[in-house]
Amino acid sequence: MTRPVVDDRATAPACHACAGTDLTRVRLALPDGRPAVFASCAGCETTAWYVLGGDGTPLGPDGSPRTLD
């Protein structure tokens, strides 16, 4: 299965924990149906979800705001 390449750097430009830009980005939907981008940082291994067209707040897998532990 293939699909067009989509550039999601505007939705998830950098890691919210370390500001690294080497992110793996995958489009998906949150449990409530909002389209989102899952981002995983190669540098610090932090993950977060970002709503497409949202305000850039990093979210957890359930759609609630992500906090740094």
In a domain, 59, yes or no: no
Question: What does the pLDDT average to over 58-62?
Answer: 92
pLDDT digits (tens, 9 = 90+) for 11-44: 999 999 999 999 999 999 999 999 999 999 999 9
Phi, psi values for residue 30, rounded to 5°: -75, 165
pLDDT of 6 reads: 82
Element (H, E) at 48: strand 47-51
Task: Look up the pTM and report it.
Answer: 0.84
In a domain, 65, yes or no: no
Distance, first Cα to last Cα, the chain: 37
pLDDT of 60 reads: 92
* Separation CA 15–CA 47 (nearest Å): 8
* Separation CA 59–CA 9 (nearest Å): 16
In a domain, 30, yes or no: yes
Domain tally for the chain? 1
pLDDT of 3 reads: 65
Per the CB < 8 A criterion, the answer to whether 41 and 22 are in contact is: yes
Which residues constitute the domain of residue 10? 1-53
Confidence check: pLDDT of 68 > 90: no
